[in-house]
A = this chain, B = another copy of it.
Amino acid sequence: MEVAAVEGLMQDYELSLQHVLWRVERLHQNKEVVTKRDEGIHRTTYGEMVPRINRLAGALKRIGVKPGDRVATLAWNNNRHLELYYAIPCMGAVLHTLNLRLFPQHLEFIINDAADKVLFVDQTLLPLLKPLLGKIPTIETIVLMAEPGAPPPEGMPQMLDYESLLAAESDSYPWPKLSERMAAAMCYTSGTTGNPKGVVYSHRSQFIHTMGVLQLDNLGLGSNDVLLPVVPMFHANSWGLPYAAGMAGSKVVFLGRFSADAKSIVELAEQEDATYLAGVPTIWIGLAGYLKETGKRLPKVRTVVCGGSAVPQALMETMDSLGLHILHAWGMTETSPLGSVARVPADTKPEDELRLRLTQGRVTPGVEIRITDPTSGEELPWDGVAFGEIQVRGPWIARGYHNGYDPDKLTEDGWFRTGDVAKISPEGYIQIVDRTKDVIKSGGEWISSVELENAVMAHPKILEAAVIGLPHARWDERPVVYAVARPEFKGQVGEDEIKEFLKGKVAKWWVPDEVRFIDEVPKTSVGKFDKKVLRANAVPIKEGVKEEARK
C-alpha cells in the first residue's frame, strides 16, 4: 500500500505539440488563417490546413527528414510557415526558424551550428539565401515556398517546390508517438555579444508554455480573438502565439512580407477585425503616429502585447489616448519567451496604474524568479530598492545551449542567468534597470547605468547621456558619463554642474568620475545606445584627481 500511493496514478500522457494539432483538427476547423501576400489576401481555414500539414509531414519524410533532424525556415509570417510550425515538430523533427534580419555571416554560422538538413525558403527571401549558398554544407535539400507557376529562381541550385511536394502526398500522416523531452523547435539568440547561441525547446516546454499563454492574467488570448502577430514567426516562435492560437482556436492573420509599415498593419487589422496585436515598441510608435495622422482608430483591438524591449512611457500614454491597451511583457529566447506580464490589479489607484504597467510586470505562473547579489550570489530582497541579476527557473526555461556553449548561464543550483538587472517591488513588480554587461561594478556594488543616464538626462540642458563603466585601479570600475548638450546649451554646461545636479538624486558613490561631452551618442541599427563603441574609444579615467568626489 505504501508504495502504490507514493506515486500518483495519473496517465503518463506525453505533453507535445501533437495535442495542439489535435485541437486544431478536431475543434477549430472553421477558424480562418489569413495571409496578406503580394498578390492579394490568401484565405484558408484550420480545417483546410490540417490535410496540408499531413501532406507536409509526408513530404518531409519522403525527402529524408528523421526524428531529431533540424529543418530550417527562412520565412515571413504566412500560412505555409504555420504549416511548418505543426508538421516539423509533430513528425519528430526540429523546427528551426531563421532570423532573416541577421547578417549573412550570422545566418551561415547558425545553419552550420544547428547542422540543419533541410531549408524552407519564401520566394521573396531568395536574395537573402543567395550569399549563403556553398557555405551551408549540411543542407541537403532546399524547398521553395512559392505560388504554383512561379518561374524557377535564376542562378540558384535546384530546389524542390513546396506545393508540388504536398500534391504528391496523402491527406493523412501516421504521426509517431513522441516523448515530451524531445526537441520540438530551436531559436538562436540574436548574438549581440558574441556568436548566436541555439536554444532548443522541447515538446513539453512548448506545451506548458502554450497552456500558460492562454491564461486570463497572462497573455489571455482566447478563441474569440483574431490574432495579428506583428512579431515575426522567427522571433522566439512569435512569442508562442501561433501555438496558443491553435490551442484556443483563435483566427490568425499574417502580415506576410513584413515591414513596420503602419498603414498595412492598420488596414489588415481593420479588414480582418483583429482584436489582438503583438509586437515590439518600434512597431507601435509607428502605428500610433499613423493613427494620429490619419484619424483612424482600431476599436476592435482589445490587447496590444508589447515586448522585446521596455515600453517608453510616452508610447503607452499615446496608445492609451488612441484606445489601444498595451500589455507589457518581458522574456527572452531562452525563456520560450514568456517571463512576466504587467497586468495591474483592478483595485490599483489611478495614479499608480501607469507606473505599474510600465514595469516588466509580475512573473507568470510556471516561472520562478529571483534577483541575486553580484558579489555574494545570494538572493536579494524584493524591496523595490536592491537590484541584482534576474535569474529564473521553470519548465520552459533553457538549461543550456545547443552544442554546449556558455555553460555558465546556469547557476550551480540550476537557475538561468538572464543577464538582465532588476529590482523587484514587495508586490512582485519587476523593474529592469540594466544589463549585466552594462552595469558598473564599483567596489563590489552595482551601479545601474540606465538609472544614472536617466538622472543625467533629467538635467534641463542635457539632450541625451550614456553611461559606461571604465576600469579603475581601486574600485574595479567607475562610471563615466557621455553627455550631449541640448543644441541651445551647447558649450554652456560643464562637468561640475552635472555632478552638482546629481547630488541628492543618486547615491553619493554613484556620482560619476567624469562627464565627457560629445556631439552625439553612437547608436545601434535599432536605435539603442551603442556602448560597445563608447567603450572601444574611451580614454582611461584620470585616477586620483577626482577621487574625493566619491567620498
Residues of A within 8 A of B (CB): 1-13, 15, 19, 22-23, 26-27, 29-30, 67-68, 70, 94, 114-115, 181-184, 186, 199-205, 208, 210-212, 214-218, 220-224, 247-248, 336, 343, 345-347, 362-363, 365-366, 368, 382, 393-404, 414, 416, 426-428
Q: Could you tell me if B183 and A6 are in contact, using CB atoms closer than 8 angstroms?
A: yes
A–B pairs, 26, beta carbons within 8 Å:
A2-B115, A5-B115, A5-B200, A5-B402, A7-B182, A7-B202, A8-B181, A8-B202, A8-B203, A9-B399, A11-B399, A13-B394, A13-B395, A15-B395, A26-B382, A27-B363, A29-B426, A208-B211, A210-B365, A214-B218, A215-B215, A215-B216, A217-B222, A217-B248, A247-B365, A248-B365
> How many angstroms between the C-alpha atoms of A461 and B131 in the bound complex?
84
Contact of A368 among B19, B199, B222, B248 (CB under 8 A): B19
> How many angstroms between the C-alpha atoms of A86 and B184 in the bound complex?
34
Q: Could you tell me if A27 and B427 are in contact, using CB atoms closer than 8 angstroms?
A: yes
Contacts of A94 in B (CB 8 A): 5
> How many angstroms between the C-alpha atoms of A94 and B30 in the bound complex?
44
Contact of A9 among B6, B220, B398 (CB under 8 A): B398
Q: Given A214-B215, A365-B248, are A11 and B200 neighbors across the interface (CB < 8 Å)?
A: no
Q: Could you tell me if A9 and B363 are in contact, using CB atoms closer than 8 angstroms?
A: no
Contacts of A10 in B (CB 8 A): 200-202, 204-205, 336, 395-399
Q: Could you tell me if A204 and B8 are in contact, using CB atoms closer than 8 angstroms?
A: yes
Q: Taking the nearest CB of chain B, how far is it from the CB of A456, in angstroms? A: 34
How many copies of the shown chain assemble into the complex? 2
> How many angstroms between the C-alpha atoms of A12 and B94 in the bound complex?
19
Chain B, residue nearest A410 (CB): B11
> How many angstroms between the C-alpha atoms of A11 and B404 in the bound complex?
14
Contacts of A70 in B (CB 8 A): 5
> How many angstroms between the C-alpha atoms of A94 and B6 in the bound complex?
8
Q: Could you tell me if A8 and B366 are in contact, using CB atoms closer than 8 angstroms?
A: no
Q: Could you tell me if A11 and B181 are in contact, using CB atoms closer than 8 angstroms?
A: no
> How many angstroms between the C-alpha atoms of A115 and B217 in the bound complex?
40
Contacts of A222 in B (CB 8 A): 216-217
Q: Could you tell me if B224 and A346 are in contact, using CB atoms closer than 8 angstroms?
A: yes
Q: Taking the nearest CB of chain B, how far is it from the CB of A50, in angstroms? A: 14
> How many angstroms between the C-alpha atoms of A114 and B10 in the bound complex?
17
> How many angstroms between the C-alpha atoms of A358 and B204 in the bound complex?
34
Contact of A217 among B15, B199, B223 (CB under 8 A): B223
Contacts of A212 in B (CB 8 A): 211
> How many angstroms between the C-alpha atoms of A201 and B11 in the bound complex?
10
> How many angstroms between the C-alpha atoms of A63 and B415 in the bound complex?
34
Contacts of A7 in B (CB 8 A): 181-183, 200, 202
Contacts of A214 in B (CB 8 A): 215-218, 365
Q: Taking the nearest CB of chain B, how far is it from the CB of A112, in angstroms? A: 10
Q: Could you tell me if A67 and B428 are in contact, using CB atoms closer than 8 angstroms?
A: no
Q: Taking the nearest CB of chain B, how far is it from the CB of A426, in angstroms? A: 8
| Apart from A7-B182, A9-B183, A26-B428, 15 more pairs, CB < 8 Å | A5-B94, A5-B115, A5-B186, A8-B183, A9-B399, A9-B400, A9-B402, A10-B205, A11-B398, A11-B399, A26-B382, A208-B208, A211-B212, A214-B218, A217-B222
Q: Taking the nearest CB of chain B, how far is it from the CB of A143, in angstroms? A: 20
> How many angstroms between the C-alpha atoms of A397 and B199 in the bound complex?
31
Contacts of A404 in B (CB 8 A): 4
Q: Could you tell me if B8 and A403 are in contact, using CB atoms closer than 8 angstroms?
A: no
Contacts of A401 in B (CB 8 A): 9
Chain B, residue nearest A15 (CB): B395
Chain B, residue nearest A205 (CB): B10
Contacts of A202 in B (CB 8 A): 7-10
Q: Could you tell me if B6 and A68 are in contact, using CB atoms closer than 8 angstroms?
A: yes
> How many angstroms between the C-alpha atoms of A487 and B4 in the bound complex?
55
Contacts of A396 in B (CB 8 A): 10
